[in-house]
Chains A and B, each alone.
Chain A
Amino acid sequence: MTINRRHFLGSSAAAAAGLAAPMVKADGHGKPRVVVVGGGAGGATAARYIAKDSKSAIDVTLIEPSRMYYTCFFSNLYLGGFKEIEDIGHSYGTLASGGVNVVHDWAIGVDRDAKTVSLAGGATIAYDKLILSPGIDFVEGAVEGWDVSSQNAMPHAYKAGSQSELLKAQLMAMPEGGTFAMVAPPNPYRCPPGPYERVSMVAHFLKNNNPTAKIIVADPKPKFSKMALFQEGWADNYEGMVDWIGSDFGGDSVSVDPNEMTVTIDGEVTNVDVCNVIPAMKAGRIAELAGVTDGSWAPVNAIDMSTKADPDVYVLGDSSQQGDMPKSGFSANSQAKVCANAVRGALTGSKVYPAKFSNTCWSLIDTDNGVKVGATYEATDEKIAKVDGFISATGESAELRKATYEESEGWYAGITADMFG
């Protein structure tokens, strides 16, 4: 496969694009065409909003290999027994009925000169604007002893679906008094509180089903998102069950052996029954193939999520390097709506409004014990910059924690309706 890359041509044009993006005339064909790669919180939202708001003036194609999308958010609640796997699965039928051309295939290449995307199935699709929202892939060799061929013995469960079901099955099959290990990822990664909500949900399951079991977390970081809230929650609800080993105590020196089912932390070998390896992350592969990444992520302009490399290629969500927003489904959904407004404006001349972004991450610690962290953001010349924020406090009342959990349930219903229609 030959891929033409225009690494350097796009940058000045991208800088000049700014607010007054020139209207792109779709020459030689009918309607302007938007191709979206990746049907998660960023891509599904962008496709849906462009189709809905352009009222059929723009052809929108969404390329997503999965026919059923399992949200990574709330997949920990499935592990904890608060959700069924069906509760976090979503199909694309409503998006298709809403005018999005949904193609279930893998995008395997982008030719930015010809402005086409090639698919594993052999087709080539032309675009005027390309939106990439491929989530994350794992950095090879990030955890010594682990690679994708080991993901059945030691699941990551950080792309939801079959991996989540596998990890749940392994959790349920743990021997009495057994050991659950997690290798946590280095920054930056998808869903900063995610590994620690997972620890909470695994602890919840074990407390009810296998109360003498232990959880070991090897973490390459000295601290983590909502740390005080989680540590308070673990002490209050799962006393003595969770052993978190941060980088100050050797948590950054980890290797695993999937055949022997051992984890070695700072030279000490431990036999484990389940090992959840969450490796270091990078932008989804197609962003790299499109030549819009710089290092692990794709730098973007905050004003519209266009890449620094090419003003006609946008990157949303986890894969983007945008500034202060955490990599989360909420962030991707927020960025998608700013991007959709800008792309529609560029293609049809519709009004482009100022970018506004927001994010909230809810986490469940135990039954009816929810916490949250959130912020609002704005676009500056340099990045998406934080404006204002909040975080739940330690020692909150049970009533407030219950209300926070119920709010997260409402958010899940809201964002999935916003993504999939």
Chain B
Amino acid sequence: MPGSQPEEFSVSAEILALEGDLEYGEYLASECTTCHQADGSANGIPSITGWETEPFVTALHAYKTKHRDNEVMQIIANRMSDEEIAALAAYFKTLEN
């Protein structure tokens, strides 16, 4: 999986346990698919389909808190609530690589 977070970064069990709203996740995902391809293809921008919940949620929280570099991802994640991140994780998990 590309771009793993710094080892010291983790999110709480409470955040990881949030159940994502699939339908909301599908809507929110349309913001992601301007760059990340829905069919899992990756050239220059990593694939985000088919990820397990924990790494997906952790990655977005790492961008949100600026523990991961990339200004585009930082401002996108910055305004996402915990529930929205959970919804996105739930949706992208359903997409095949």
Which residues in A have some Cβ–Cβ distance to B below 8 Å? 49, 53, 330, 333-334, 337, 341, 351, 353, 356, 358, 360, 372, 374-376, 378, 387-390, 406-411, 413-415, 417-418
Cβ of B96 < 8 Å from any Cβ of A? no
Of all chain B residues, the one with the shortest Cβ separation from A417 is B37
**Is B18 engaged at the interface, CB distance under 8 Å to the other chain?**
no
Q: Are A353 and B24 in contact (CB under 8 A)?
A: yes
Q: Is B94 an interface residue (CB 8 A)?
A: no
B75: chain A residues at CB < 8 Å are 358, 374-376, 387-390
Q: Which bucket holds chain B's interface residue count? A: 20 to 34
CB distance from B61 to the nearest CB of A (A): 17
B45 sits at the interface (CB 8 A): yes
* B33 in contact (CB, < 8 A): yes
Query: A-B pairs with CB below 8 Å: how many?
Result: 82
Instruction: Check B34–A418 contact: CB distance below 8 A.
Output: yes
- In the assembly, what is the distance between CA of A49 and CA of B39, in Å? 15
With both beta carbons as reference points, the residue of chain B lying nearest to A341 in the complex is identified as B27
Find chain B residues with CB under 8 A from A375 CB. 75
Chain A CB within 8 A of B8 CB: no
Does B76 belong to the interface (CB within 8 Å)? Answer: yes
- Do residues A337 and B30 form an inter-chain contact, with CB atoms below 8 A? yes
CA distance A353 to B34 in the complex (A): 18
CB–CB B34/A410 < 8 A:
no
B42 — nearest CB in chain A belongs to which residue? Answer: A410
In the complex, besides A334-B31, A337-B31, A415-B34, 8 extra interface pairs with C-beta distance below 8 angstroms are: A358-B75, A372-B71, A372-B72, A376-B75, A376-B79, A414-B33, A414-B36, A417-B33
- Interchain CB contact under 8 A, B34 and A334: yes
Chain B residues with CB under 8 A of A53: 26
State A409–B42 Cα separation when bound (angstroms): 10
Q: Is the CB of B36 within 8 A of A388?
A: no
Interface 1/0 per residue, B5-16 and A, CB below 8 Å: 000000000000
Is there contact, CB below 8 Å, between A388 and B34? no
Residues of A within 8 A of B39 (CB): 417
- B72's contact among A333, A356, A360, A415, by CB below 8 Å, is which? A360
Q: Is the CB–CB distance between B71 and A390 below 8 Å?
A: yes
Query: Top 9 A-B pairs ranked by shortest CB distance?
Result: A410-B44, A410-B45, A390-B71, A409-B44, A337-B30, A406-B44, A414-B35, A388-B75, A353-B27
Are B72 and A408 neighbours in the complex by a CB distance under 8 Å? no
User: CA separation between A353 and B41, bound complex, in Å?
Assistant: 27
| Across-interface contacts of A409 in B (CB, < 8 A) | 43-44
A409 to B46 Cα, complex, angstroms: 12
Q: Tell me, in angstroms, the Cα distance from A376 to B77 when the chains sit together.
A: 10
Residue in B24, B27, B78 whose CB lies within 8 Å of A388: B78
Please state if B30 and A414 are interface contacts (CB–CB under 8 Å). Answer: no
Alpha-carbon separation in the docked complex, A119 to B51 (Å): 46
Does the CB pair A376–B78 fall under 8 Å? yes
Which among B23, B27, B74, B78 has the highest number of chain A CB atoms within 10 Å?
A: B27
A334 surroundings in chain B (CB, below 8 A)? 31, 34
How far apart are the CA atoms of A49 and B27 in the complex, in Å? 10
Residue of B nearest to A338 (CB): B30
Some 29 contacts from A to B, beta carbons below 8 A apart, are A49-B30, A333-B34, A337-B31, A351-B23, A353-B27, A353-B28, A356-B31, A358-B34, A375-B75, A376-B76, A376-B78, A376-B79, A378-B79, A387-B75, A388-B79, A407-B45, A407-B72, A409-B43, A409-B44, A410-B45, A411-B34, A413-B37, A413-B44, A413-B45, A414-B35, A414-B45, A415-B35, A418-B34, A418-B37
